Each structure stands twice: as C-alpha cells, then as structure tokens.
Amino acid sequence: MLLEICGLTSHYGRIQALDDISVTVEQGELVALVGANGAGKTTLLRCLSGVQPISGGSIRFDGADITRASPEKRVALGIAQVPEGRQVFGPMSVEDNLRLGAYLRQGRQVADDLERMYTLFPVLFKKRELPAGTLSGGQQQMLAIARALMSRPRLLLLDEPSMGLAPLLVAEIFDVVQSLRGDGVTIFLVEQNAHAALTLADRGYVLETGSVVMTDQGHALLADERIKQAYLGL
C-alpha cells in the first residue's frame, strides 16, 4: 500500500471539515475522490500535503507515518500536488516553470525529464519559450501536471484538473491522466466531474459533508443508482 489514510479528522476552528476519513491508494492505482462543492475534497488534499492541521487519525506513506511530517518532507518523499486553479508562474517561460518542478534534482536527469514532458505534452514543447501566462487554461493545466511530474513523484495528487475548462479540453486532460496511469504513475484524483473521474479510476470514494459515504470500483460507482442521481444528473 502506497498511501494509507486512517480515521482522519480535520477542523477549521470549531467546524469539522473531515470526519473519520479512511482511504487507501495502492502502488500504480488511479483512485478518484468525488464529491460536491464543499464536501471536503480540498481539505483532504491539504491534509495530505501537510498544510492543514489534522485533529485525529493518521496518514502513512509507503509504510512510514507522515501524519505530522512537514510539507517539504512529504515532497522529498515523493508526494507531488497539482493545485486547484493550476497556479503556474505566469511571467516565467514554460520551460522555466518545468525546471522549477525539478528543483530538488540537477543535471542530466532533468534534461531527460524535460524531453519526456515534451513528448507527453507536445504543445508545451511548441510554446516552451513563451511566458506561461500566455497559455490557454487547458495548456496551463498540462503545464501544472508536467511541472509536478518533473519531480518524479511516487504519488501524484490532482486537485480538480477539469475545473474551468471547456468540455473538449476536459477530455484532453483526462486523456493525459489516463496515459500517466498507463505509464504506472500512482494517482489520487480529486474531482467534481464524477463521470469523467470514475470512468478512468480503478477505485473511487464518494465524499459528502466531510465523510466517505461510498467506496467501490470506478465502474461500479458509475453504475450505482444513488451516484447516478446525485452526481451524474441521470
């Protein structure tokens, strides 16, 4: 088991945002967490990256307890997050944004990884010298994913990669996620777009007001009547 979240609880002041969350992600798996606005998805990711106080429970990564580990330590262990809203460095070139993703490493390996990213995302190669801020929303999302991959993460955390994108671009982003999964990258995907996420995912969790209310294989959740009504508009 690569990631093991056990009985996790988190508060904002006196407001409980997460209640007894248990989630696992195996090596090589694509696991989706779906839920409506305000369900607690972002809070859970913040707990995973170490920037959100945890009031109970534990997080283990590759067998080690990281519940109280610093964000830097988690990055060094191989947990990379692609934040919601992309957050690329607009004035910097596409290539410099990518190099930033590899700041913990140096030398030849970085050049190899740049090449790998340009193969995976040809549009980033075409635009490598342009300021990242000139890219379209979908391209910025690709850049944010590629930047995270530059750190050669063992676990990639994706926070709502489809947010704010036109349907065609959403499809493109999910194609990328699928191909990463095919390459063996372990992915924890947090999405409001339940249909797209559960279609790709090996397994999924449904979060409602801070609690996991259902978990199953992706296709089984897609076929579930309650999920269809509440999340797929069917």
Can you give the binding site for ligand ATP, defined by CB under 6 A?
12, 15, 17, 35, 37-43, 192
Using the minimum distance from each CB to ligand ATP, give the nearer residue, 29 or 191.
Answer: 191
Cα separation, 111 vs 129, whole angstroms: 16
Nearest to 153 by CA among 120, 121, 113: 113
Using the minimum distance from each CB to ligand ATP, give the nearer residue, 25 or 34.
Answer: 34
Using the minimum distance from each CB to ligand ATP, give the nearer residue, 40 or 57.
Answer: 40
Secondary structure E strands in the chain: 3-12, 15-25, 30-34, 56-61, 64-65, 79-82, 155-159, 187-191, 203-208, 211-217
Hey, is 210 helix, strand or coil?
A: coil
Least distance to ligand ATP from the beta carbon of 138, Å? 19
Instruction: Please report how the helices 108-120 and 94-101 are oriented relative to each other, as an axis angle in degrees rounded to 10.
Output: 120
Least distance to ligand ATP from the beta carbon of 44, Å? 7
Using the minimum distance from each CB to ligand ATP, give the nearer residue, 117 or 206.
Answer: 206
Least distance to ligand ATP from the beta carbon of 35, Å? 5
Using the minimum distance from each CB to ligand ATP, give the nearer residue, 82 or 135.
Answer: 82
Q: Is 175 exposed, middle or buried (0-12, 13-18, 19+ CB in 10 A)?
A: exposed
Backbone angles phi, psi at 62, to 5 degrees: 50, 40
The one-letter code for the residue type at 39 is A
Least distance to ligand ATP from the beta carbon of 61, Å? 21
Least distance to ligand ATP from the beta carbon of 72, Å? 22
